[in-house]
Amino acid sequence: MLPVSIVIPTYNRSELLAKIIPTYTAQSCAEIIIVDDCSEPSVAEVFAEAGLSEAATIIRNTRHEGSPASRTTAIRSCTQPFIFFGEDDLYLPAGYIANLFDYISRGTADIVASRVKETDSLNDDPTRPTRRASSGYEIARIGWDFLVRGDRSVRQPVYVPHLHTWALAPKHVIEEIGFDRRFKGNAFREETDVYLSAFERGYRLAFVPGKLAFHYKGPLNISGGQYKSSIAAGLAWYEYHVFLNNLRFLRKHRHALGGECILISPFIDSALYSIRRALGYPGRISAQLRRHRATA
């Protein structure tokens, strides 16, 4: 068994989590801790019906607290020296975490992450979806120009100032930094804040070669998580918190980022970032409509 605690916060996606949890149990990690942020139906109920009660330790919040608080609750319960941050809509191929652990064990970096690609399909083998979305993920950004896509294949580790959510890190580093509960709503930038804080403190972060994991963006996660079910209200709510949380992030790390990242001011840069995101709204709305039709 790998000395790794897998942490999965979840909200109103119990059925989806039940479908993807076997890809986590197959990782041969010492423990899986799920924090149910007051889902309806509860994770425990859905897992019991599916015969998955022994798959993970389930902690249920007494009230909806949001992602940073849920992650903090899980971390306090972890018994292993390393933590992998999973999610209720991320499929892992066999050996995904073992590959990350190998790079840390060899001293390649202190915190590592690997390839992830979006998918809008579900089938019996989630690592081979019948349809894959084309977009990737920001792995690291300095200024407006430095961008590494999460689905990009690399031949050797790429050292970066921050990583996507699904990384493997020493527990003591995460405890030292902690998740900032001031990132509200969709908690946009919560993981970037943690990883950039680690980078600022001298820890080495690397994007490493590995198999593709798949981030599901199909009809089963139309609501729950960090989203609302209504298309217009949901996008407005989400982008409102993108702006507020990005502003908080830039203000918090202003001295570390300096002129390389903050071009004018945290407020104006956050507004420009939101405008840039708005250019993709037609595609986002179309995708939401397709997902709504799929659930109708």
**What is this structure's pTM?**
0.87
Structure tokens at 174: 């995460």
Other Cβ atoms closer than 10 A to 252: 18
What is the pLDDT at residue 83? 98
* Across 210-238, average pLDDT: 71
Q: Residue range 167-196: average pLDDT?
A: 94
pLDDT, tens digit, 9 for 90 and up, residues 21-45: 999 999 999 999 999 999 999 999 9
C-alpha to C-alpha distance for 19 and 37, rounded to whole angstroms: 18
Task: Tell me the pLDDT band of 276, cut-offs 50, 70 and 90.
Answer: confident
Where does the pLDDT of residue 146 fall: very low under 50, low under 70, confident under 90, or very high at 90 and above? Answer: very low
Give the list of residues 6+ apart from residue 154 with CB closer than 8 angstroms, or none: 207, 208, 209
Rounded distance between C-alpha atoms, residue 233 and residue 21, angstroms: 30
The domains located in the chain, with CATH, are: 2-224 (3.90.550.10)
**12-16, 51-55, 73-77, 252-256 — most confident range:** 73-77
Quick one: what percent of the chain has pLDDT higher than 90?
56
Which H or E element spans position 33? strand 29-36
Per-residue pLDDT at 104 exceeds 60:
yes
Q: What is the DSSP letter of 97?
A: H
Give SS3 for 229. Answer: coil
Give the strand order in the sheet containing 116-119: 90-91, 213-216, 116-119
Neighbouring CB atoms inside 10 A of 150's CB total: 22
Phi-psi region of 283 (alpha: psi -120 to 50; beta: other; left: phi over 0): alpha
State both tokens at 184: 């509200």
Confidence label for 257 from pLDDT (cuts 50, 70 and 90)? confident
Q: Is the dihedral of CA 263, 268, 271, 272 positive or negative?
A: negative
Q: What is the C-alpha separation between 128 and 27, in angstroms, rounded?
A: 17
Is the per-residue pLDDT at 143 higher than 50? no
Burial class (CB in 10 A: 0-12, 13-18, 19+), 25: middle
The pLDDT, as a whole number, for residue 281 is 59
Angle 18-24-29 from CA coordinates, rounded to 5°: 140
The mean-pLDDT minimum among 92-96, 247-251, 264-268 falls in 264-268
